């Protein structure tokens, strides 16, 4: 098996657009993805993660996941890597989804921890029992040894790492499975520094992929930022790319100006202020940008609040980003419960 590194560093965790009946809408998906295709054509090293957590993978049927992946490969696969989000209710389901993604032509897998009983979700002690996820990864890479894997290492929260897999389990996975070539950094600030530094020292071939955009300025300052997997590209692509480019060019003043004076930090601070509202705010902000037709997610995900829409409208404009006409915003806000 020849190890294949991800050919792009900046991955969009794409939201999933729905039609008026709540079904996956290919026409809207093409429009959203064309926006990222244009950025790729402009020289940015973008990749696409289809069916990530931000895209409501948990609530998409296997048929919908396959339809989205097939379409993304047709629309984007000739210009950027298309990585398939993978999750299942059992290990066998997870392996089956990975095999299906390979057979459809995915360029890699974006692998998430198991879902289901509280033993392996909210009550999982990932420090003592890393095998809960490590064993799943092992079965996936045994079944699909020829695809690179990016890991999405979310766990029950801990003070030292936030919602990211602790250091010991991370190192175990990276030592056992060379197919893992990217690690999404879902950590709090201290956990990011600890895990990111260990990856750099011990597994430099693995990409440290920033996730929480509100910390990108600090992540870049620490030189622990090989790239990203983030849903924030859905609503703030242009200033995020400018900010990363400024850091990579050594233009600290330019990066600081974009981050602070340009309003990017303030926008991210609101989006990331509540973990229980993160993906709702991703999608609402993407709708406000005019890139999709509705901010609504699939139930049981809640609807956005009127105050969230209003705050995001102000912050997007403050970051120099265009928003849809106020009359269109008001028409949706008036239908929200509160």
pLDDT digits (tens, 9 = 90+) for 226-269: 999 999 999 999 999 999 999 999 999 999 999 999 999 999 99
pLDDT digits (tens, 9 = 90+) for 196-227: 999 999 999 999 999 999 999 999 999 999 99
pLDDT over threshold 70, residue 286: yes
pLDDT for position 4:
54
pLDDT for position 186:
96
pLDDT digits (tens, 9 = 90+) for 149-187: 999 999 999 999 999 999 999 999 999 999 999 999 999
* 270 and 281 Cβ atoms separated by less than 8 Å: yes
Rounded Cα–Cα distance for residues 313 and 322 (Å):
9
Q: What three-state secondary structure class fits 183?
A: strand
pLDDT over threshold 70, residue 321: yes
pLDDT over threshold 90, residue 1: no
Cα–Cα nearest to 85, from 45, 123, 115, 122: 115
Taking residue 241's Cβ as centre, other Cβ atoms within 10 Å add up to 19
What is the share, in percent, of the chain residues with pLDDT greater than 70? 98
HSE value, Cβ hemisphere, 13 Å, CA-based, for 169 = 24
Each as own residue / partner, the long-range contacts of residues 125-128 (CB below 8 Å, 24 or more positions apart, any chain) are 125/156, 126/155, 126/156, 126/158, 126/165, 126/166, 126/169, 127/158, 127/166, 127/168, 127/169
Q: To the nearest whole number, what is the mean pLDDT of the chain?
A: 95
Rounded Cα–Cα distance for residues 191 and 177 (Å):
22
**How far, in Å, are 4, 112, 292, 310, 312 from residue 285 at the CA level?**
34, 24, 10, 10, 6
- Residues comprising the chain, all counted: 338
Rounded Cα–Cα distance for residues 40 and 195 (Å):
30
With a CB cutoff of 8 Å and minimum separation 6, the contacts of 211 are 184, 185, 186, 228, 229, 230
Cα–Cα nearest to 207, from 219, 189, 218: 219
pLDDT over threshold 90, residue 5: no
pLDDT for position 239:
98
Does the predicted TM-score (pTM) go above 0.85? yes
pLDDT band at 3 (very low <50, low <70, confident <90, very high): very low
- Least trusted range by pLDDT, from 1-15, 54-68, 153-167, 253-267: 1-15
pLDDT digits (tens, 9 = 90+) for 82-133: 999 999 999 999 999 999 999 999 999 999 999 989 999 989 999 999 999 9
Percent helix, strand, coil in the chain, to 5, is 50, 15, 35
Rounded Cα–Cα distance for residues 25 and 143 (Å):
31
Between strands 10-13 and 227-230, the pairing is parallel
pLDDT for position 142:
97
Within the chain, strands assigned E span: 10-13, 46-50, 82-86, 108-111, 149-151, 154-158, 162-164, 180-185, 207-210, 227-230
Q: What are the structure tokens assigned to 237, written together? A: 């692509």
Evaluate the CA torsion angle 225, 200, 138, 126 in order and state its sign.
negative
pLDDT band at 337 (very low <50, low <70, confident <90, very high): confident
pLDDT band at 9 (very low <50, low <70, confident <90, very high): confident
């Amino acid at each position: 098996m020849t190890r294949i590194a991800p050919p792009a560093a900046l991955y969009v965790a794409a939201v999933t657009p729905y039609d008026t009946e709540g079904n996956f809408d290919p026409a809207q998906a093409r429009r959203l993805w064309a926006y990222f295709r244009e950025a790729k054509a402009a020289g940015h090293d973008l990749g696409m993660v289809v069916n990530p957590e931000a895209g409501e993978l948990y609530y998409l049927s296997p048929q919908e996941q396959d339809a989205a992946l097939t379409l993304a490969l047709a629309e984007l696969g000739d210009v950027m890597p298309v990585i398939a989000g993978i999750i299942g209710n059992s290990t066998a389901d997870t392996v089956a989804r990975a095999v299906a993604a390979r057979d459809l032509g995915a360029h890699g897998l974006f692998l998430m921890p198991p879902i289901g009983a509280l033993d392996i979700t909210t009550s999982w002690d990932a420090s003592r029992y890393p095998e809960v996820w490590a064993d799943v990864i092992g079965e996936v890479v045994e079944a699909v040894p020829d695809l690179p894997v990016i890991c999405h290492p979310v766990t029950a929260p801990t003070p030292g790492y936030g919602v990211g897999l602790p250091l010991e389990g991370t190192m175990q996975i990276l030592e056992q499975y060379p197919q893992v070539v990217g690690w999404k950094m879902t950590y709090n600030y201290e956990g990011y520094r600890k895990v990111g530094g260990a990856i750099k020292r011990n597994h430099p071939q693995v990409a440290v992929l920033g996730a929480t955009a509100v910390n990108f300025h600090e992540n870049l300052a620490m030189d622990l930022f090989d790239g990203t997997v983030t849903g924030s590209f859905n609503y703030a692509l242009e200033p995020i790319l400018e900010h990363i480019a400024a850091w990579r060019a050594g233009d600290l003043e330019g990066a600081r100006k974009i981050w602070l004076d340009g309003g990017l930090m303030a926008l991210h601070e609101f989006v990331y202020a509540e973990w229980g509202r993160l993906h709702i705010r991703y999608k609402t902000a993407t709708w406000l940008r005019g890139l999709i037709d509705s901010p609504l997610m699939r139930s049981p995900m809640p609807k956005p609040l009127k105050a969230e829409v209003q705050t995001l409208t102000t912050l997007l404009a403050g970051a120099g980003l265009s928003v849809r006409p106020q009359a269109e915003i008001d028409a949706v806000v008036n239908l929200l419960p509160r």
